[in-house]
Structure 1
Amino acid sequence: MQIGSFDNDGIVFLIAFLLISGVFAAKFSSRIGLPSLVLFILVGMLIGSDGLGFVYFDNAELAQMAGILALIIILFEGGLQTKWKTVRAVALPSISLATVGVLLTSLITGFAVHYILDVSWYEGLLFGAIVGSTDAAAVFAALKERNIKAKMGATLEAESGTNDPMAVFLTLIFIELLSQPNTSLWIMIPSFFWQMGIGLLLGLGIGKLASFSINRINLESSGLYPIFTLSFGFITYSIASGIDASGFLAVYVSALVIGNSELTYRYSISQFNEGFAWMAQILMFVILGLLAFPGHVFQINVITQGLIISFVLIFVARPVAVFLSLIKMKYTMKEKIFLSWAGLRGAVPIVLATFPIVAGIENAVLYFNIIFFVVLTSALVQGSSINTVAKKLGLMGPVKDTPHHSIELISIAKANAEMVQFQANNDNAVVGKKLKDIEFPTRATISAIVRGDRLITPYGDTEIKPGDFLYILVSRKYKEDLRKMLNEKKNNK
């Protein structure tokens, strides 16, 4: 690895340049409908040795470490933002897609690769295992701010957040079989159930511990709470990986528990992790772009073989896996078609493609170049057309109405009070009522109402309307009473 002739100041400037480029790339990509990860990768390839020559980078181990750290941050942020009530309804199909679906995708793709690349069966199946899973970073980024139906979005996010264990397990199995031909496949199978089971239990346990600790600790600065929260993500991964369980699964589950718990400084934690996840995503894809040499990736044989494999993966392996994984589950034909199309590949396959290189597997560099091309193809073809396909299939949901405003109290933890944010919907009992007619719990005061882009000062005659965001200061002692009152439905009156 060489970074030109840069000194420390030059390296700092380079990092700043990459982050700024990433921000503009994200903004530009949203306008043209192109997945941001493609532009991040292109930035890395542009400044690499085959491009402008600013950076020479060929350290697969360092890229692997950077990818793992970034995926921890991205999975943790994704878990924090995922609502359990949405995921619960799609838990079974998501798990089926994350296990049976990944296995079927890997096998079908692996068989095709055996003939397309004229390699051994184990080598073909290793390739299939590497590209077998959808990617959390790509899926979270693609679905953010897009109005896909909640059921579809939840299925894809839950699948991508939990399918890494199967992909990692299959990848390591075939690397082991190629390195040690005498290894018994049957001896390795129990380790998969250990990885999944212990990863799940660790995620649940550490998630509950983290939620308890965040609410009980009294820190001097509100800025410490997001850092304290994120530290549990790294702790979860390290403990799980240390005992050969699935670190990625444990991180996602722990974040899911934390994100669905009552937290102090929830919005500071959420905003910090969202920004940090964007930074991790930018740097990760730029580094992966640096690792890929355009002169190697865009060779005629790589392009030709990559296109054929991409066709098999997108139009054969993924659809077959989706339809078989969701047998007798409540998904319509159109929903299955959409799930088949939205199985994006991204960082995980590229990071997994570094494993054979590090292990010294024959043809590993060729695998990396073709896998890199397959990921780009998936992002360009599938990622850029998700909205179009959803519209054609009638699977668009209501416009997402997320608040771009927040109210924070600096000393909220010490005051033993919290600012609760609540969005009123048509079926809430408080909608249509005036504030003076609503019986709020003791020590609960509405501080502000945000309606669209307007801040409304609350008075007794102010009427609550659908879509209003209420900001209510309440004593922690009465927070649960307030939550129950706000969530009361009109037909329960």
Structure 2
Amino acid sequence: MDNSLIIFGLLFLLSVLFSKISDKYGVPALLMFLAVGMLAGSDGVIGLEFNNAKIAENVGTIALIYILFAGGFNTNYKSIKPIFKSGIILATFGVVISAVITGVFAYYIMGFSILESLLFGAIISSTDAAAVFSIMRSTKLKNNLASLLEFESGSNDPMAIFLTITLLGLLTATTVIDPYTMSIKLLLEFILGGAMGYLFGIIIPSLINRVKLGSWGLYPVLLIALVAMLFGLSEKIGGNGYIAVYVAGIIANKKEFLYKKNLTGFFDGIAWMMQIFIFLTLGLLVFPSELPHVAMISILMALIVMFISRPISVFLCTIFSKYNFKEKCFISWVGLRGVVPIILATYPLSAELENGQLMFNIIFFMVLISVLTQGTTLNKSAKIFGVIEAEKSNTNMPSSPISYSDIKQYRIGESSKVIGKNLTEIGLPDDFLIVLAKRDGELIKVSGSFEFMQNDILLILCNSELRYQKIIRIYGL
């Protein structure tokens, strides 16, 4: 037991330390995590034996639930609003188009059956949010390109998962499935998953604001439990749990609630932990000695995805968008494959399909190629295609943006409707900022958990007297 814990801790420590290489040289962190797993595997230095695809699939499923929720939870709805239409088309139709084109090539090149070929295309069809976020965080792009790419990479996983599970179900079905019944089932999965996600997205902030737990440390536990329940309930009623958790994250982020900043940071850490855990597991599952046998076919299929499937899907999906030719080329190049394709590649492996191991090895190699080529050249390609936004000068900034008349003082009266409520529960607008409160002669910094009491004196920042009076009246201060 002691040795296992030492090895477990050492692998996580190496993964975290190796992520520094990602920050310094622009190599995606997932490549570092996979490398650590492969070095620890049966063909590596440590020689850990692991070949249970079912365990890897289950670990991957749990990891995906929280990675997708964290992706939605970290998505600012205001930033995606201008690009929502283009992003959702890329994340849905773009995935389908890419999967079909890749599947057609797989059918003729690899000799798979048509369903196996489409399954292969579906598995490799989604882009990796973690890789895109980590590589592009320091690059400011024109025309909301960064928001588009982040939203697309974060929201196209559910469609890829959806297609993979559906095609795998067709391949393993013992009876003939009626196309009409299947179409209705698929439509219901989207509708019910989206509806459950929207419902929980509204419930989560409201529940956090009202439950008033004794310790802030219990709030992350509460949210972890709610996300698990959401996924399970969505799957139970026939919805898509992955869509549900992603939508819930986005909707919840729109609202203000207690410890929002802390919880967002916590789930960012959870997402990183899940990525490291699944990458290590998948790294252990792969046998590096088998990869040279699929090297040529993997390189060929990777080139097809990078230069044919992805560009065609991007140009078709953005045909009526505001983006020009160079911007579309850049969007096409930012099609990194990452954790989701490798996780999905364990599905045919655990289902014991005849070509399951071959699919897993090829897709694993394709992800490595994508990360090494696209991942390390994103910043350079942004310069080549001229999509980096020039820094704006601040010479026209006003010398005094806040005037004395913007600052108001207000006392909470005995008839106030906000007594006993906290700041996030009220949901005040952004242009009405409560900076400080004075209670019994003591100054208090107002945060989301601040609870209003009678005779509190509030220091408020609001740049319009009419707006100030209107909010006081509406919110019953």
The TM-score bracket by the shorter chain reads: 0.7 to 0.9
Per the alignment, residue 276 of structure 1 pairs with: 270
Q: In structure 2, how many angstroms separate the alpha carbons of the residues matched to 1:13 and 1:366?
A: 33
Question: Residues 152, 313 of structure 1: CA spacing in aligned structure 2 closer, same or farther, 3 A cutoff?
Answer: same
Equivalent residue letter for 2:210: R
Per the alignment, residue 189 of structure 2 pairs with: 195
Equivalent residue letter for 1:442: Y
Equivalent residue letter for 1:322: V
Q: In structure 1, how many angstroms separate the alpha carbons of the residues matched to 2:143 and 2:462?
A: 24
Per the alignment, residue 377 of structure 1 pairs with: 369
Query: Which of the residues 293, 317, 342 maps onto 1:325?
Result: 317
Per-residue deviation, residues 440-465 of structure 1 (Å, max 9, x unmatched) = 45374459xxxxxxxxxxxxxxxxxx
Per the alignment, residue 250 of structure 2 pairs with: 256
Question: Residues 437, 473 of structure 1: CA spacing in aligned structure 2 closer, same or farther, 3 A cutoff?
Answer: farther
Structure 1 residue 178 corresponds to structure 2 residue 146: no
Per the alignment, residue 381 of structure 2 pairs with: 389
Equivalent residue letter for 1:127: F
1:394-405 superposed matches below 5 A: 394-397=386-389
Query: Which of the residues 221, 234, 240 maps onto 2:228?
Result: 234
Structure 1 residue 438 corresponds to structure 2 residue 431: no
In structure 2, the residue corresponding to 1:70 is in which secondary structure? helix
Shift of 1:485: 5.0
Q: In structure 2, how many angstroms separate the alpha carbons of the residues matched to 1:78 and 1:428?
A: 34
- The alignment-based identity, stated in percent, is 37
Shift of 1:90: 1.5
Shift of 1:132: 1.3
Query: Which of the residues 199, 202, 207 maps onto 1:205?
Result: 199
Equivalent residue letter for 2:50: F
Per the alignment, residue 301 of structure 2 pairs with: 309
Structure 1 residue 74 corresponds to structure 2 residue 42: no
Greater radius of gyration (CA): 2
Structure 1 residue 102 corresponds to structure 2 residue 95: yes
Q: In structure 2, how many angstroms separate the alpha carbons of the residues matched to 1:150 and 1:333?
A: 13
Shift of 1:230: 3.0
* 8 Å Cα contact 1:86/1:150 also seen in 2: no
Which TM-score applies when normalising by structure 1? Answer: 0.80
In structure 1, the residue corresponding to 2:335 is in which secondary structure? coil
Shift of 1:56: 1.0
In structure 1, the residue corresponding to 2:38 is in which secondary structure? helix
Per the alignment, residue 7 of structure 2 pairs with: 14
Shift of 1:482: 5.5
Q: What root-mean-square deviation, in Å, do the aligned CA atoms of Structure 1 and Structure 2 show?
A: 3.0
Per-residue deviation, residues 334-361 of structure 1 (Å, max 9, x unmatched) = 2211111111111111111111112221
* 8 Å Cα contact 2:435/2:461 also seen in 1: no
Question: Residues 189, 135 of structure 1: CA spacing in aligned structure 2 closer, same or farther, 3 A cutoff?
Answer: farther
Query: Which of the residues 39, 49, 60 maps onto 1:56?
Result: 49
How many residues are paired up? 431
* 8 Å Cα contact 1:61/1:354 also seen in 2: yes
Question: Residues 72, 184 of structure 1: CA spacing in aligned structure 2 closer, same or farther, 3 A cutoff?
Answer: same
Equivalent residue letter for 2:246: Y
Per the alignment, residue 140 of structure 1 pairs with: 133
In structure 1, the residue corresponding to 2:381 is in which secondary structure? helix
Structure 1 residue 114 corresponds to structure 2 residue 107: yes
Q: In structure 2, how many angstroms separate the alpha carbons of the residues matched to 1:280 and 1:305?
A: 30
Question: Residues 223, 386 of structure 1: CA spacing in aligned structure 2 closer, same or farther, 3 A cutoff?
Answer: same
Question: Residues 483, 437 of structure 1: CA spacing in aligned structure 2 closer, same or farther, 3 A cutoff?
Answer: closer
Question: Residues 155, 445 of structure 1: CA spacing in aligned structure 2 closer, same or farther, 3 A cutoff?
Answer: closer
Per the alignment, residue 267 of structure 1 pairs with: 261
Which TM-score applies when normalising by structure 2? Answer: 0.83
